[in-house]
Structure 1
Amino acid sequence: MNARDGLQRPVDAGPRRVSLRTRGHMHGPITRLMSPSDLGHTLKPFVFLDLFDIDLHDPRGGFSIHPHSGLATITVIVDGDLRFDDPADGTGYIGFGGFEWMRAGGGVWHGKELSGGRSPRAKGFQLWIALPPALEQATVESQYVEAPQVPTTGPAHVILGSYGGVRSPARSPDGVTYLLVRLAAGTSWTFVPPEGQTVAWMAVASGRLVGEASAETGQMALFDPSSQSIALEAGAEEDVVFVIGSAVPHAHELHLGNYSVHTSAAALEKGEANIERLRKLLIAAGDRRQGDGGSIPVFTGEAGGE
């Protein structure tokens, strides 16, 4: 089986070459595959990628409250589910194909807005993308999108951008495509990057891809900058689950803070100053835990403490 999902624009001849494969660095239940200080410079606007396998039912597990500015985070679940309990979006579960989109913009504190779901553990990817100047100081926004609301095309769930005639509900910037794909054992599929999106990479959550673009569980693969399509084939033994991203190259240098990514030193200074302002407001706000689930909504300093 070979699906192009209706994307028939001409592409360069020959296979798209993998320029690098990495397994990143494991820290307990989290594997860091990319960070802004290393591969983020090559793949910008994609600047950070974690593969996690966590138990958020354990109060000692998960992520601590931490700040961001100048970027957006996208959390995709590939196995199990997590619960969200949000004053604006209500309560629900993010399972396979669902995601959280959070635009940090000018500054936010978060890390506990998702809690343990119906499964014992949850496995997934957290991705950061660097925002363009028009959005890096914008107001914060969050979306919790359950799997039934995520459009599909062939084997792919469209997490960010448009692909195969369908568009993600995420309010992400133009020029970025991010898909979650489950490819049946022994089948093939071709990813055709949208026009101008010459940055491309993929990461495998489970199973094995074979052929020119081979990769195994826990590996991330970078592709040479190109408009060429990417032919992908699942091994015969089992289905393979992976994420794949493409984008128009980010035209700005990365100016990095501990949790911030901006396009200039001045923008970074402004973002970090706002993070410090929010830290003081967050301390003053006290305990913001939601119900028995243990989730804590993102903090923007706006009315209501959200």
Structure 2
Amino acid sequence: MFFSLFASILISGEVVESFKVFIRYASYLVLPLFIYNLIRFIKVDVAFVFLALIPYILLPFGKFYLVEELTGLSRYSFVFSHPNHFAYYLVPIAAYFLFITKRDYVLTYSFAFSAVLFMLLLSKSSGGIFVILVLILYKYRTKLVRPSGLFLLATISPLLFIFGFADKFLDQIMFLNQINLSDLLSRDNLGGSGSLSWRLVYWLMILKSFFDSDILHIIFGNGLATMSYGSYAYSFMYTDPHNDFIRILVEQGIIGLILFVLLLVLIIRKFKILSMPLLILIFMPMFIGNIIVNPVFVLLTIVGFLDLYRKQYYEI
């Protein structure tokens, strides 16, 4: 963190903006510890069940839905500005019920997990649904070849069907079959009917601009906050990159990206048999979203795995 701060100040000269990002990242270390120590006395499990059920209170009210202009889909966003941000809230909670809760109250946790899955479907977040599907398949990977695997397939097959044949997902796949990404890139054209094609073109445009810069910026980056609204590094940018690896690469350079990935790997290795679920939960959303600048996702993920760490080393 200190390396990123000083490199950012030296490269960009933006002292205030660099310190803002530094403080945000520092709060990711402090705030979850504070929240965790508040709620662990009433059990983190209970708090997460409560969080899973809260969205149902506002479900009947239409003003909490967002209608997409291109697809016409109505998506539930709860109290968040966008349904994808709602998915960032739901995914860590679902992962918690899948891998961290003790099985003292199996029915309660199973009900809460099902409630979260239903909310994910209403948010129509392709990325969120895909991450949870991968986590489910990983958890029950050995049971899929047993008779009991039939029950699992019968349980998740409706989810697979909805995800695989939803109009939104099909539109994106069909659009990708009809376009030439290199042509769109050459014309800086971000048009398209799907978020998948938009992401691919946007990422390529950012990477092209980054690697066209001088070697100093490639190694050390353009500075913290240069991938944030109001101070984007490139003139064509109008929103965050929706890929945190690209964000870190552009902001902190090749060295910063290497250090960040090494840090994550060291943390993930501390969780023994649950290292792979944590790897999926962090790396997959980072690849398709703006996770490290989303405090809700970061807070819930760290609180959940703090609880796992305590159970793993002090109680189990």
Query: TM-score range with shorter-chain normalisation?
Result: under 0.3
Q: TM-score, normalised by structure 1?
A: 0.26
Higher share of residues assigned helix: 2
Task: Provide TM-score, normalisation by structure 2.
Answer: 0.25
Q: Per residue, is there more strand in 1 or in 2?
A: 1
